[in-house]
């Protein structure tokens, strides 16, 4: 049996969640089940639960993303949660940030195939693009790293008063508690654990929200940010 044949029936909730983009969501699921598995982006065991555990689980993140903002999906991998989010929210400008070439190739193909004009794929690590990429309102991430480490990559990419939204599992509360000191040093002003997707996914998706103040990344990144801004101004003057 091929991987594609194992793709489960599309849940009824997908029609409501993806709306006009329903057909594109189905195509994305097929791409994950076929090319995604062949290229090692997702494991074959994930195919039977692609809809509930991956596409719908990620799409409901849109419930807590403000309107019309810029988003950077850190460590986007196969495009989760960035692509499901893009399918339900064409008001967002989304950057899929991923360091591995085979993954960025896949992401670029998906974005072009699905006509996601509001999505850009960038190859690189978060720490490499800081200062080269405009700061964003929202950073998203899923299954990238423990919260304290994820925060050191994601928070410095934020604009002042932006927020990081990390999809986490059952250990979200414990991770948040363990990361409190690290988050404080990075300029976090407020943290919370949210549950989204009621009536769509069961159990609901768990999101750790980290809201920052006027200095995303805290003192340690202030100098880096200032240097990057000076470099940018110098380049613009020379140009």
Label residue 4 by pLDDT band (50, 70, 90): very low
CA distance 189 to 211: 6
pTM of the model: 0.90
Average pLDDT (48-59) is 95
What count of other Cβ atoms lies within 10 Å of the Cβ of residue 215? 17
Return mean pLDDT, the chain: 91
Whether residue 42 is predicted with pLDDT greater than 50 in this model: the reply is yes
Whether residue 5 is predicted with pLDDT greater than 60 in this model: the reply is no
Whether residue 100 is predicted with pLDDT greater than 50 in this model: the reply is yes
Average pLDDT (170-178) is 93
The DSSP letter of residue 78 is T
The Cα-based distances of 233 to 116, 131, 211, 238 in angstroms read 31, 11, 28, 9
For residue 52, give both structure tokens.
């509930």
Q: 67: helix, coil or strand?
A: coil
pLDDT at position 6 is 77
Please state, for a pLDDT cut of 70, what percent of the chain lies above it. Answer: 89
User: What pLDDT, in 10s, does the model give residues 139-172?
Assistant: 999 977 889 999 999 999 999 999 999 999 989 9
Handedness of CA 57, 60, 66, 67 (dihedral sign): positive
User: What pLDDT, in 10s, does the model give residues 107-127?
Assistant: 999 999 999 999 999 999 999
Whether residue 3 is predicted with pLDDT greater than 60 in this model: the reply is no
CA distance 141 to 207: 10
What count of other Cβ atoms lies within 10 Å of the Cβ of residue 14? 20
CA distance 102 to 186: 31
Label residue 206 by pLDDT band (50, 70, 90): very high
pLDDT at position 46 is 93
pLDDT at position 228 is 64
CA distance 160 to 183: 15
Label residue 236 by pLDDT band (50, 70, 90): low
């Amino acid at each position: 049996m091929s991987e594609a044949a194992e793709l489960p029936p599309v849940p009824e909730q997908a029609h409501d969640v993806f709306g006009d983009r329903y057909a594109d969501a189905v195509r994305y699921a097929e791409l994950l089940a076929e090319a995604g598995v062949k290229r090692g982006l997702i494991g074959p065991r994930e195919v039977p639960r692609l809809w509930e555990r991956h596409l719908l689980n990620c799409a409901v993140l849109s419930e807590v993303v403000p309107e019309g903002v810029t988003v950077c999906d850190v460590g986007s991998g196969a495009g989760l949660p960035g692509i499901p989010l893009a399918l339900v929210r064409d008001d967002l400008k989304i950057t899929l940030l991923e360091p591995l070439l085979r993954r960025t190739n896949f992401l670029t193909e998906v974005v072009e195939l699905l006509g996601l004009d509001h999505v850009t794929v960038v190859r690189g690590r978060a720490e490499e693009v800081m200062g080269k990429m405009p700061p964003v309102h929202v950073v998203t991430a899923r299954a990238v790293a423990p919260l304290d480490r994820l925060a050191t990559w994601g928070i410095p990419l934020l604009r002042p008063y932006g927020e990081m939204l990390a999809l986490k599992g059952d250990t979200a509360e414990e991770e948040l508690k363990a990361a409190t000191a690290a988050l404080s040093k990075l300029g976090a002003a407020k943290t919370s654990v949210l549950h989204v997707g009621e009536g769509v996914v069961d159990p609901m998706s768990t999101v750790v929200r980290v809201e920052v103040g006027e200095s995303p990344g805290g003192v340690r990144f202030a100098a880096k940010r200032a240097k990057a801004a000076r470099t940018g101004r110098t380049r613009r003057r020379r140009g």
